[in-house]
Structure 1
């Protein structure tokens, strides 16, 4: 992922705050020799204080052999993306049809060392952490080894702990454009008011205030 200086996070807290509000991404694992990488859509829970991500997958998943061969993996999370029409980006002294269209988006890539969790008690603890993240209001039974309703299901899954060893983050929101063009884009997003336009506009305005 190319990250220009004007698209880089202003500090670590920017990408951390953003990532705490997300819990779905794609886990990329090196494939066997001669094969492309495996990419697995994944619900996850990010723990900023522990510097780790936790998740789980079904035991038959082909990722397990790939992780055993090379535990260095990448978790990619992309959100708040919108298409920006060319006329919104046109230079003030030129025709609007000469503007260059682009994409806005926020992205965080976590380089991680994966550890597979097979111990039943540790696996149950990991699942309960995930359930608490996704259902903080409760409403589900806890996973407990040997007890209904989830105990008998534990052998069918394997847990994942991903220790974060590196981070690449990007907030692509017209950071290099003059304020006149940024204002035009912000107005266009407000008027269009499509999916994710409001939050993309907030990113644009927030980042130029710092």
Structure 2
């Protein structure tokens, strides 16, 4: 993806975003395909920069991974539409001449995939992937008879590309103006976008 210098996120911030949004698209290019295989999936990001997940055995992604173990895990969120008129300060000019945009965060992780087929390995992945979300989780081993229907995946991150597109090329006055308008509109995604704006302005609290 295109990342301008003013939108670039460092690796720590990018991984923090992924950990708070552990659902994305796993993309496997394979070899010689017209289009890649794209699978929406929940996953767990470990502290040692691995993503763990499981998928059904009939999933077409396994063939693509056999062809080429390099995959892309893509996560995006915290988005908000910014009308063009919002980008013109009061008295600055004709609001109709403002250029609309969308604010969003996106992280793409280039990973090397390792397929996990043994029962113990599958159980370990299921525990890590689900236990944080389900405190009443029954030990996955109790469902071992169902394990032949799934495979596990361990994705080792080799490259991190993070983009936080929140008006980083605009001055503080314009960004504060947009933050106030986001607060007034209060549509889904606006609060998260305002928080991102505040971080970019190096303020302790959201505007």
Indicate whether the TM-score tops 0.5.
Answer: yes
Preserved CA contact (<8 Å) 2:11 2:162: no
What corresponds to 1:143 in structure 2?
140
Aligned residues: 202
TM-score normalised to the size of structure 2? 0.93
Moved over 3 A (4+): none
Aligned to 1:57: 55
Contact (CA 8 Å) 1:59, 1:158: kept in 2 or not? yes
1:113 Cα deviation after fit:
0.2
SS in 2 for 1:183: helix
What is the CA distance between 1:13 and its match in structure 2? 2.3
Task: Decide whether the 8 Å contact of 1:45 with 1:133 is kept in 2.
Answer: no
Pair 1:44 & 2:37 matched? no
* Number of the residue aligned with 1:7: 7
Contact 2:87 2:99 in 1 (8 A): yes
- Structure 1: stretches of 5+ with no match in the other structure: none
TM-score with structure 1 length normalisation? 0.92
**Does residue 172 of structure 2 align to residue 194 of structure 1?**
no
Q: Report deviation, 1:35.
A: 1.9
Q: For residue 32 of structure 1, report the CA deviation from its aligned partner.
A: 4.8
> Which residues in structure 2 correspond to 1:41-190 (within 5 Å)?
41-47=40-46, 49-90=47-88, 93-135=92-134, 138-144=135-141, 148=142, 150-190=143-183
Mapped contact 2:7–2:168 kept (Cα < 8 A): yes
Q: CA RMSD in A?
A: 1.4
How big is each residue's C-alpha offset from its partner over 1:21-72, in whole Å with a ceiling of 9 and x where there is no partner?
Answer: 111000011145242011100100001x221000010001111011000000
Moved more, 191-200 or 15-24: 15-24
Q: Is the 8 A contact 2:70 2:111 kept in 1?
A: yes
Instruction: Output the CA distance in 2 between the equivalents of 1:22 and 1:78.
Output: 8
| Structure 2 runs not aligned, ≥5 long | none
